[in-house]
Structure 1
Amino acid sequence: MTPRHRATTCPVSARPVLRAVRRWATSPSMPSTSRSPVDDAGRVDPDRLPALDRGTILCLQAGEVNTGEFDPFDRLIPRAKAAGAWVHVDGAFGLWARATRARRHLTEGIEGADSWTVDGHKWLNTPYDGAVAICRDREALYAAMNADASYAPSNIDAPANKGLEFSRRARGIPIWAALRTLGRNGIDEMMSRHCDLARHLASELRADGFEILNSVALNQVLARLDSDNKTRALIETAVNGGKVWFGPSSWEGRAAFRISVTNWQTREEHIQNLVQVLKAAKARVDDAMVSPR
């Protein structure tokens, strides 16, 4: 690598992507980073994409962490490849859309990338530290991860030459077991059900005066009340009730909360229970804060 290498990401990249870039930045090559302009939904805007070259890694997202949206791969990846750039897709949870019939179109063009990552512990419901990294070019992967030594014969297929760790437990077994048990149809059913439940949740909240900040393309619902103070108070009120948990977030400088429907057990009755908790919390917050701030 040379000092001209750089990574181009979107403004709200997932933490593992940013951590990987920071790790890279400690190397002698000291790459630069830039943020690609995005649209209102957090998707990289092809018309404002920074200049790319052979020294660039373009990091795209399958499932933006707040909105669940997908970058326009069919427009971005051909441009990146024409410039000689490497394209990585962070598909932490969203890459699973590729396995569904109804939402496969969201990933159109994604097959043109050079590498992809997807978690098992989110949507597949496997143990926390299991994930999958896929690299198109096995020689490039070997060159980056090569741990050969004088006392260990070279072997491109050695597990130590496929990742950062020299030794590790068999994290892939729970992922394999889940895939084997569910099968293609089982994965499609579970994830499609979650997406439908997310849309139902958004509809119920919108009808009660919540502002829904995303299009709910996948399984994420990003919502808020009509002020930052009310939104933060609602989160505290709902979570302190002990029946639900969800975390705070922010979108375009405004306080929000994000609900991700991912548990294999989640059914409509659970969403209705959540709706009732949120409506009750909103009523309490509205009573306590007569005028928005």
Structure 2
Amino acid sequence: MSNTSITGTISRIPTRLIESLDLSKKAQRTILVAVFLSPVLVWLFLYKYIALIYNFVLSFSEMTYTGDMSFVGLANWGTLLTDPVFGRSLLNTIVLFGTIPVSIAIALGIALLLDQNFPGRNAFRSLFFLPYITMMVAIAVIWQYMFKTENGVINYFLLQTGIIEQNISWFGDSVWALVAVFVIQIWKTVGFYIVILLAGLQNIPTQLYQAAKIDGASRVQQFLYLTLPLLKSTIGVCLLVGMVISFRLFDLITVLTGGGPGHGTEILLTWIYKQAFLYGEFGYAAVLSIIMIALAIGIALIGQHLQGTEY
């Protein structure tokens, strides 16, 4: 007997058992769905919800490297008030979440151009998508050389165009270091958003634009009153996916700046990692994790609102 027939026979066993019960068709379907979903639900319960509950309990405790825990009440939460890096890391996290709308806006402009018929259109699409599939560590190393103070490509270009009069110490100043991370993240993610927005643009019926043109609508009016409203759900998807992509900033910042200079590029993820695995403050790291989760949920709700759906 082939593997396919064995698998088919096994998958039919729950169905036959449920059908043998004296239940209505609706009850049988409900039980059948629950049976087939149970492995996924068990996995979610063990590795997600139990982990979240454990993290919440840990936020009120102190744990050693050996796993011994002791209850400390609100001491870990009180540390937030005396931790000067927390405010900076939270602000940097919010600022770098700003790369999402900026990247989407740039991607939308490029997607509108790539949606036209011209030779080499597919090659340009692949070219824009290439940075997204490149390893973040490799990107960090490449851009580290490009942002070098002396003999760096970025400073050379800015000097030659007259934008600056002297070299910028990109990784020696906290503000410029954050700007560098901001720029790299946009360069990294624009191509991914282009693919999603192109799919959304191609789903808009051309008849709508033809009707708008007959009614005398200009290109700007077509974009504002047709393209943008019809791309609302697509932009919402981009926002949700962008939030997930932003978590990958941990790799970029760790390799590029290490959170410096002076915690100038520290974000919640890197600060959580340092508190837990460098300083052994697992309880305080749990508190920071809860704040990070709350921030992620807030952005997810905004994305849901843009899609026009509710939980």
> Which TM-score band applies after superposition, normalised by the shorter structure?
under 0.3
Kindly name which structure, 1 or 2, has the bigger radius of gyration based on alpha carbons: 2
TM-score (norm. length: structure 1): 0.24
User: Which one has a larger percent helix, Structure 1 or Structure 2?
Assistant: 2
Pick 1 or 2: higher relative contact order, CA cutoff 8 A, min separation 6: 2
TM-score (norm. length: structure 2): 0.23
